[in-house]
C-alpha cells in the first residue's frame, strides 16, 4: 500500500475533528469554484466539476454549500487560483508530488518548501520525481456498494485496469483517458462513486523504517493541513506495525 493511501487510512481511523472537516470543506469548495470557472457551471457538461461535487457529497457537504461554491465562479468575485504541482524528496529520499490551488504562488511555494526542509527532505524542480509515477484515473466506491467480486467483474467489463477492495471501500484504477467512460459504466451499476479523479500512482513502493515513516507521516500531515494543498502523493510504504500504531 503506497504511503499516500496509508496516510489517508490512518486519518480515517482517527476520525476527523470539526476543525479538520472545516478545512477539508474549504478545499473541496475551492476545487468546485475552480472547476466551474474553467468550464461550464453545469456538472453534466463539466467532468471536473462533477468530480468535485461527487467528492463534496461523499464528505456530506450540503447542497447549499456546493451551490455557493459554484455561484462564486459565475459571480466573478475576483478570486483567481493557479494550479501548481510541486515535486520533491521527503525523508529517506522518497518521492513526493504536491498539487495545489493558490491565489499567492510565493506564499504557497515558501510554505511547501519549509515543510520539506523541516522534515529533512527538499523541494526539487518540476519533473524531478513525476517520472516515477503513472498518471491514472481513480474511482472510489464505498465498501457497501458491492462485494469485492461484483466490483471486480463490473470494473473489468467496463475497461478498468485494476481494482483493490478492502474494508474501507473499492478503489478502481483506469487509464487516464478511460476515466470518464469507466466511471459512467460503474455509476450506472452501483450509483454515484465517492470519487473520480486523475491521480499519480507510484510505479514502485519504497519500504521505509519506522523512524523515517513517522517523519514522512508528519510531512504528509503538514502538507494536508495547508489550505492551498489539494492532493499529496508519495511512493513510500510503511510497516504494518507503524500503520497500526499511528492509526490506533
For strands 133-141 and 169-175, give the pairing.
antiparallel
**Closest to 79 in 3D by CA, of 113, 24, 32, 23:** 32
2 Cβ neighbours under 8 A, 6+ residues apart: 201, 202, 205, 233, 234, 235, 236, 237
Phi then psi dihedrals of residue 111, to 5 deg:
-70, -45
Q: What is the largest CA-CA distance in the chain?
A: 50
pTM for this prediction? 0.87
User: Which residues of the chain fall below pLDDT 70?
Assistant: 1-20, 76-78, 247-248
Chain segment 51-101, per-residue pLDDT in tens: 999 999 988 899 999 999 999 888 766 578 899 999 999 999 999 999 999
pLDDT at 1: 46
**Closest to 196 in 3D by CA, of 150, 130, 141:** 141
pLDDT at 191: 93
Rg, the chain, Cα only: 18
**Closest to 86 in 3D by CA, of 124, 33, 30:** 124
**Closest to 96 in 3D by CA, of 60, 130, 46:** 130
Q: Which three cell numbers stand for residue 210?
A: 519506522
Q: How far apart are CA 96 and CA 88, in angstroms?
A: 5
Amino acid at each position: 500500500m503506497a504511503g499516500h493511501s496509508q496516510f489517508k487510512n490512518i486519518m480515517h481511523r482517527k476520525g476527523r475533528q470539526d476543525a479538520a472537516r472545516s478545512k477539508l470543506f474549504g478545499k473541496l469548495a475551492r476545487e468546485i469554484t475552480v472547476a466551474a470557472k474553467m468550464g461550464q457551471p453545469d456538472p453534466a457538461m463539466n467532468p471536473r466539476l462533477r468530480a468535485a461535487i461527487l467528492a463534496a457529497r461523499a464528505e456530506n457537504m450540503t447542497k447549499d454549500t456546493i451551490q455557493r461554491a459554484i455561484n462564486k465562479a459565475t459571480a466573478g468575485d475576483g478570486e483567481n487560483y493557479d494550479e501548481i504541482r510541486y515535486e520533491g524528496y521527503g525523508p529517506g529520499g522518497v518521492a513526493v508530488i504536491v498539487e495545489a490551488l493558490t491565489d499567492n504562488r510565493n506564499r504557497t511555494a515558501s510554505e511547501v518548501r519549509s515543510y520539506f526542509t523541516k522534515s529533512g527532505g527538499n523541494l526539487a524542480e518540476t519533473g524531478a520525481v513525476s517520472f516515477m509515477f503513472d498518471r491514472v484515473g481513480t474511482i472510489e466506491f464505498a465498501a457497501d456498494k458491492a462485494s469485492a467480486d461484483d466490483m471486480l467483474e463490473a470494473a473489468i467489463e467496463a475497461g478498468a485496469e485494476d481494482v483493490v477492495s478492502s474494508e474501507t471501500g473499492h478503489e478502481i484504477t483506469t487509464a487516464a483517458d478511460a476515466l470518464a467512460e469507466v466511471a459512467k459504466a460503474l455509476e450506472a451499476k452501483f450509483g454515484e462513486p465517492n470519487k473520480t479523479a486523475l491521480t499519480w500512482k507510484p510505479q514502485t513502493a519504497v519500504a521505509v523504517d519506522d523512524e523515517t515513516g513517522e517523519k514522512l507521516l508528519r510531512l504528509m500531515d503538514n502538507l494536508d493541513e495547508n489550505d492551498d494543498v489539494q492532493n499529496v502523493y508519495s511512493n513510500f510504504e510503511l510497516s504494518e506495525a507503524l500503520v497500526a500504531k499511528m492509526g490506533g
